Amino acid sequence: MFPIVYRGYSGIRKVTSERCPDPRISQQRIILDSHITGETQLTNVDFVPSFCKKLKETVIYHNFSSLVSLANDWLISHPCWEIINCETVTQYVHQVHDSVDYSAVINILRIWIKRRPNEPYLVSREPLLWYKDFAPDQRRFLEGRINGKIVQMETLKVPATDDWTFKSEATYCNDGRTTRDIERYQNYVILIRVFYLAGPLFDHEVVLADFVPFDLSSETFARRNGEKFSSMISRAALWLRENTELSLVNAQAVDIHVPDPDAETIETRITWKRKERNDKEIRFLRIYCTKRNEVSKLFLNYESLSVSSLEYKLYLTAIAFNVKSFQQDVNEWFVDLAQRNNGIKPRIVNIETCVVPPFVNDQTGKSFQHAVDETHSCNQMDGRFKYSFVTIRIYYDESGLETGDFQITRLP
């Protein structure tokens, strides 16, 4: 019996997009705020991009600027809410419209808000929230680049092509299903995104402090018994109390790939990276602070008001919540903590959404706490956000005073 050999047929033509058009059509941006009630005191609102069009092999969703514009419209129409912080969240979003699947891994804008006190407040009709991306060649925060009060700073990894071309405005990442699309980019650049509220010229210096796990080595990676994330938060809190000239803006858990965990030093300020199979992933804590520069100090007068570092010190700590029920849990925690402190609301530094290793939902919560505290190989799904485990971490001031409840003193 002879094997059958298929020689090919000249009549077979390559399937093109013209013959097999994409069934998806342009969709509207989405606002996720239906969970907010009259009793809600602390929560989030998500602004989600949607499919716009496909040009050859490039899928285009609403850009990030359009999400910020949408957030401004929402804030203007809901003046009773005050922004705590904003963040860029990468997640798998399942969307089906008219039996057409629009699911994908995308970047959304998440703003964290708290309800204002029951008192008259100004209703602004002007855009409140803005942002600016500082690319690798702009890592120095030049004077005059930010016109307003900084709300949040975050470190972002943006995919780049082989010639290191990247688009920080793009919100579409991949389809979340096929390996070809998920691993399309092996390069990425690291930039800093700054969210700020429109206002006077920002006249401070920006200070970044990175806290890396102490005992990094091949052995700790194998045994997964390195320094815990909560320990790094404690170290950062001590460092902040010793550097009273700094004002904390926010904190962030940052993941980085290192080729050799046994190296004497770990470079956390790299601006570009190519993903290698043998790299090890570690998680470190980055603290973003501001400091008055010499020029701004000249404009301070006797009437200027500030929080006295002699009378107030920040005691930074954090708490984490399971993302499956975080909206209700976060609000209940915030309200309960205020009640236990005689009505004084805790000062929220910032809230972040981050991927953690897989955990088991049990009554003790030990598996969840262990995953939240991990600093080695936290993203074990390797970018497959459809299957990732996610947590909400709140950084807050343990001393328990909300901004505005501090003792205010006049600067000499």
Tens of pLDDT, residue by residue over 85-124, are 999 999 999 888 888 888 999 999 999 999 988 755 556 6
Q: What is the rounded CA–CA span in Å between residue 388 and residue 88?
A: 16
- Please compute the mean of the pLDDT values over residues 240-257 and round it to a whole number: 92
Residue with tokens 């629009």: 102
Of 46-50, 223-227, 342-346, give the range with the top mean pLDDT.
46-50
- pLDDT tier, 20 (very low <50, low <70, confident <90, very high otherwise): low
- Please compute the mean of the pLDDT values over residues 371-400 and round it to a whole number: 84
Residue of 392 and 56 predicted with greater confidence: 392
Q: What is the rounded CA–CA span in Å between residue 22 and residue 85?
A: 38
* Domain extent listing, the chain: 206-301+309-314, 316-400
pLDDT of residue 228: 93
- pLDDT tier, 143 (very low <50, low <70, confident <90, very high otherwise): very low
Tell me if 87 sits within 8 A of 154, measured CB to CB. Answer: yes
**Rg, Å, the chain Cα set:** 24
Is the pLDDT score of 148 beyond 50? Answer: yes
Question: Tokens at residue 358, please?
Answer: 């897989």
Residue with tokens 């005059």: 144
- Please compute the mean of the pLDDT values over residues 271-285 and round it to a whole number: 86
